[in-house]
Structure 1
Amino acid sequence: MLDLDPPAWLDDIEPPGSLSDYGLPDNVVPFRSDEPAGGMSGERPECTIRPSAFVWRDPATITPRQWIYGHHLIRKYVAATIAPGGVGKSTLTIGDAVAMASGKALLGLRPHGPLRVWLWNGEDPREEIERRVVAACLHHGIEPSEIAGRLFLDSGRDVPIRIGETGANGPKVAMPVIDVLIDAIRERRIDVLIIDPFVSVHSMPENDNGAMDAAVKAFALVADRTGCAIDLVHHSRKLNGADADIDAARGGSAIAGAVRSARALNVMSAEAAKAFAIAESDRRAFVRIDDAKANLAPSSAAKWFKLASEPLGNATADRPEDFVAVAEPWTPPDAMADITVAHLLAVQKAIHKQALRESPQANSWVGHEIGRVLGLNSYGDPDKQKIKNALRAWIASGALIVERVVDDRGHKRPVVEVGEWATSPP
C-alpha cells in the first residue's frame, strides 16, 4: 500500500495558484494596474522597493542544503547533465531514476532516502522507456516492489510538455503550462523531475540567451514552488574531439549560468584507455562524469560508469530477445595495486647508477629493467603500459628521479636514477 502522507518538506511550500498568486516578496509592490506600463504617461508609476535588513541567525538554526542525490540534485534548484550525442546520458539518467526511486546507490551516488521520480523522455515511445527501466532493474537486482509507486514515466509522444515557443513578438514562456506542471508535481509529490532532452520542451532559439535564461528559470520556478529537484538533460555542441564541459552546452551561455549544478559526460579518451589497459574497441563503453559546475558544493573528483548490455529474455518465435544498454559504476584500476614496496626496492637496486634512459623509444629504456624485475613484458601492452604507469607513479613520489647526463656523443639525455630509497640500501 502506498504511503499517502505528504512528505515533511511540503509543509514549507506555498500552495499553488495562478501565476499572479505566486507572490512577490513583502518588500516589492507591483505596478498599479491603472498606470501605463513603464510610466508612458510621464508620471512615475507607484512602485516601492524596500531593502531587507539582515538579521543574524544562529548558524545551527539554518536548515542544511537539501541535497537529495549526491551533490548533483538539490531541492528547489535546476541542474543539468551535458553530453554529446550517443555517450549514454539517457542510459545514465534512467539508472539515476531507478537508484533514487529504490533509495539505493546503484551508480555511486546515494539518494537521500527513496524518492518519487518523474522521468519524462521527449524522444522515445513509452514502451522503449519501460524496456530500458526494466533492463536497469534486472541488471542491478531491483525488485518491482522497491520502486512501486515512486517511479513515474512519460513519453513526450503521449504527454507533450512545451514550456516556451517563439511567437510574433519573440520568445515567450507558456505560463499556463508551468502552472499545470506545478500542479502535477504537487499532486504526485514528486521529488525529482528529469527532462530528457531539454530541447524537447521548448521551441525557442537556443542561441538566444534571453530565451534560454527564461526557459531554465521557468523550471527554476517549478522547482521553487514544488520543492523538487530538476535535472535538464542537454546536448553539447559539436566538439571535434574536445571534452564536454559547462561551456560546451549547446546554445546560449545562459543555460550554463541559470543552473546551479551541472555534470558533463565524456567517452574515455584513447590516451586514458591506453593508461587503463583497455582495448581501443572497448573504450567507448566507459564514460567519465565530471563536475562541470558546483556552485553549492565543492567540486569532486571525476566518476565513471560503464555501459553494459542486459538481456530481457523476451524472445518470441519470430524475434530474438532484446539487449538493452544499462549503466553500471566503474572504478579505474589502480596501476600500483599489486606492486609492493619490496618490488620498488628491487627496482631501485637494479637501476642504481645504470644511467638507463627515461624514453621508452631508447634501447636502454629503464622500463626494460623494471619489466625484468617485475616479471612483465616490457615490449608489448598491457604489461608495457603497466610499467609506464608504475614508473610515472614512482617519479611523482620521489622514489625515482630524472636526471640529465651527457652521453658519449656529448648530448644531454634524461635518465632515471634512484631518488629516495624505499628502505636503507645495503
Structure 2
Amino acid sequence: MRDFTVMATQLDQHRAEHANGADRLPTPFIWQDPNTLPRRPWIYGRHLLRKQVAVTVAPGGVGKSSLTIVEGLAMVSERELLGEWTAKGLKVWLYNLEDPRDEMNLRITAAMQHHDVQPGEIEGRLFVDTGRERELCTAVQTREGVVIVKPEIEELAREISERKIDVMVVDPFVSSHQAGENDNVAVDLIAKEWARLADRCNCAIELVHHTRKTNGLEATTEDSRGGSALLAAARSGRVLNRMTSDEREQAGILPDDLTTYFTVTRDKANLAPIGKRSWRRMVSVELANGESVGVAEVWEWPDTFDGFDSKDLLSVQNAIEGKQPRFSDQAGQDWVGVIVAHVLGLDADKDKRRIKKMIAAWLQSGALVKGSKLGPIRKPVPTIEVGEWATE
C-alpha cells in the first residue's frame, strides 16, 4: 500500500513552490501563429524524441541489444546505418545491466567493423556502462510501497547533463529497479520518473523490455512482461518478432540458413503515425581475435521479380505459346509453373510460392490470361495462355 502521508507531503511542497502566483492553475491558452510553433524534436526516426520515453519490447534472443548498439552507432556517427534518419551531433549512453564490459566491447567492435564505423567517428560521443560494474537501481519495494531512489535519479541527471547526453538506453528495464514487475502502480511510478528525467535533461530515454510468452503467436507491445503502465508512460513503443517458419519459406530462405531474421514494428506511436514493420537480420562477424559476434543489419524482403526483367517474361511467354499448360499447381508436370521454373532456372517445388506469385502478377497485368481445354475426364479445366506480349 502506498504511503499517502508521503504523497500528501510532496503535494504540499509542490503547492508551496508554486504559491507565488506565477504558476497558478488553470493556465489560459494563448494562440500562436502555426508558423512560429516549434517542431517536435525527433532524434532518431520517429521513435526517439527529446523529453520523452520510448520502449522496445522483444522476446529473448531475438537481437534487441545488438539492434540498440547499431542504432547508437548510427546516431553518434551521423550515418543511417539501418535506414533510419538521425539528428546530428548526438551523444549516446548505452547502459547494459546484464552483460559484462568484455561482451559489450565485442559487440560494439563487431558492429563497427561490419558497418565500417571508424573510431574517430564515435570518440567522445558514445558512452558505455554495465550493471556488472555499477548496478542501477531507481526504485525499491518497502512495506509502505515502492519508493523512488532519489539519489540515484539525481546522479543520473547530473551525469546526463554534464556529458550532454542526448539518448540514454537502459537494457533491460526490469534490472533497473527492485519493485514488483507485475505491480502496475509501482511500474507506473518508475516509468513516470524516467519520463521526468528525460524532460528535465532534454534527452530521449529508451527502455528495453522483455515480452511475456506468447505461445508462438506474433507479439505486440501489449505483450510486454509485467504491468502495462510502462507502455502507457511511453510516447513510442516498438516490438521485435522473429521470422516465422512460414515466412522463411515464403522468403525463399533455405532450411540450413541459421541466420536470425526479425521485424521491428512501431505499433504504439502517440506523436507520430504508426510505423510499418521493417526487417532486420543478425549476421555473424568474425573478429581478428577469432571470436564470431552477431550484428544487426537491414534486410529487405525479396521482391517476387528480383533478378528478372521483361526479357525473362518474353521468354516465358514464348515457352507457353501454343502449349495451353494447366493453371492448377495440382496438375503435376502439366502445371504452367513447371515451364516458368525451367525458363527462369527456378525449382518448381522449392520455389512454388514465388512462381505462383509471378503467375498471379502476370495474370493481373494481362501478360498471361486464362483459357480452358478438356481435361482427362472430358471436362473443361483452366489453362494459361499468352495475353499481351512483353517488349524488351
* RMSD of aligned residue pairs (Cα, Å): 3.2
- Provide Cα deviations, 1:167-187, integer angstroms capped at 9, x if missing partner: 101223223322221111001
Is the deviation greater in 112-121 or in 171-180? 171-180
Alignment partners' CA distance in 2, 1:98 and 1:347:
46
Q: 1:125 to 1:29 in 2, by over 3 A?
A: closer
- Of the three residues 114, 129, 144, the one matched with 2:104 is 129
> Hey, what does 1:106 align to over in structure 2?
81
Query: How do residues 31-46 of structure 1 correspond to structure 2 at under 5 angstroms?
Result: 31=15
> Hey, what does 1:39 align to over in structure 2?
none
Query: How do residues 4-403 of structure 1 correspond to structure 2 at under 5 angstroms?
Result: 30-31=14-15, 50-282=25-257, 284-314=259-289, 321-344=290-313, 347=316, 350=320, 354=324, 356-360=326-330, 364-378=334-348, 380-381=349-350, 383-394=351-362
3-state DSSP of counterpart to 1:289: strand
Conservation of the 8 A alpha-carbon contact between 1:305 and 1:327: yes
3-state DSSP of counterpart to 1:356: coil
Conservation of the 8 A alpha-carbon contact between 2:336 and 2:384: no
Conservation of the 8 A alpha-carbon contact between 1:346 and 1:373: yes
3-state DSSP of counterpart to 2:189: helix
Tell me the amino acid that sits aligned with residue 94 of structure 2: L
- 1:411 is displaced (CA, Å) by 9.0
- 1:386 is displaced (CA, Å) by 3.1
- 1:330 is displaced (CA, Å) by 1.7
Tell me the amino acid that sits aligned with residue 335 of structure 2: W
3-state DSSP of counterpart to 1:251: coil
Is the deviation greater in 360-369 or in 162-171? 360-369
3-state DSSP of counterpart to 2:280: strand
Query: Equivalent pairs: percent with the same residue?
Result: 41
After TM superposition, the score normalised by the length of structure 2 is: 0.85
Alignment partners' CA distance in 2, 1:101 and 1:230:
15
Tell me the amino acid that sits aligned with residue 328 of structure 1: E
For structure 2, the residue ranges without an aligned partner over 5 or more in a row are 1-6, 18-22
- 1:202 is displaced (CA, Å) by 1.0
Q: 1:416 to 1:297 in 2, by over 3 A?
A: farther
Conservation of the 8 A alpha-carbon contact between 1:80 and 1:263: yes
After TM superposition, the score normalised by the length of structure 1 is: 0.79
Conservation of the 8 A alpha-carbon contact between 2:259 and 2:283: no
Is the deviation greater in 385-394 or in 85-94? 385-394
- 1:361 is displaced (CA, Å) by 6.8
Q: 1:356 to 1:68 in 2, by over 3 A?
A: same
- 1:365 is displaced (CA, Å) by 3.0
- 1:258 is displaced (CA, Å) by 1.4
- Provide Cα deviations, 1:107-134, integer angstroms capped at 9, x if missing partner: 2223211311000010111222122111
Is the deviation greater in 99-108 or in 117-126? 99-108
Alignment partners' CA distance in 2, 1:209 and 1:190:
29
Conservation of the 8 A alpha-carbon contact between 1:117 and 1:190: yes
3-state DSSP of counterpart to 1:97: helix
3-state DSSP of counterpart to 1:357: coil
3-state DSSP of counterpart to 2:272: coil
Q: 1:260 to 1:283 in 2, by over 3 A?
A: farther
Alignment partners' CA distance in 2, 1:204 and 1:344:
62
Conservation of the 8 A alpha-carbon contact between 1:270 and 1:283: no
- Provide Cα deviations, 1:322-376, integer angstroms capped at 9, x if missing partner: 2221122222222212333454466567378947233457564332233244343
3-state DSSP of counterpart to 1:305: strand
Alignment partners' CA distance in 2, 1:279 and 1:64:
46
Conservation of the 8 A alpha-carbon contact between 2:181 and 2:227: yes
3-state DSSP of counterpart to 1:389: helix
> Hey, what does 1:13 align to over in structure 2?
none
Q: 1:32 to 1:53 in 2, by over 3 A?
A: closer
Conservation of the 8 A alpha-carbon contact between 2:316 and 2:343: yes
Alignment partners' CA distance in 2, 1:304 and 1:175:
40
- 1:285 is displaced (CA, Å) by 1.9
Conservation of the 8 A alpha-carbon contact between 1:83 and 1:235: yes
> Hey, what does 2:4 align to over in structure 1?
none
3-state DSSP of counterpart to 1:130: helix
Is the deviation greater in 105-114 or in 198-207? 105-114
3-state DSSP of counterpart to 2:213: coil
Alignment partners' CA distance in 1, 2:373 and 2:157:
71
Is the deviation greater in 225-234 or in 243-252? 243-252
Alignment partners' CA distance in 1, 2:154 and 2:380:
73
Tell me the amino acid that sits aligned with residue 243 of structure 2: M
3-state DSSP of counterpart to 1:234: strand
- Provide Cα deviations, 1:223-277, integer angstroms capped at 9, x if missing partner: 1001111111111111221112111111122222211112211121112211221
Tell me the amino acid that sits aligned with residue 213 of structure 1: D
Count of residues in Structure 1 that have an aligned counterpart in Structure 2: 377
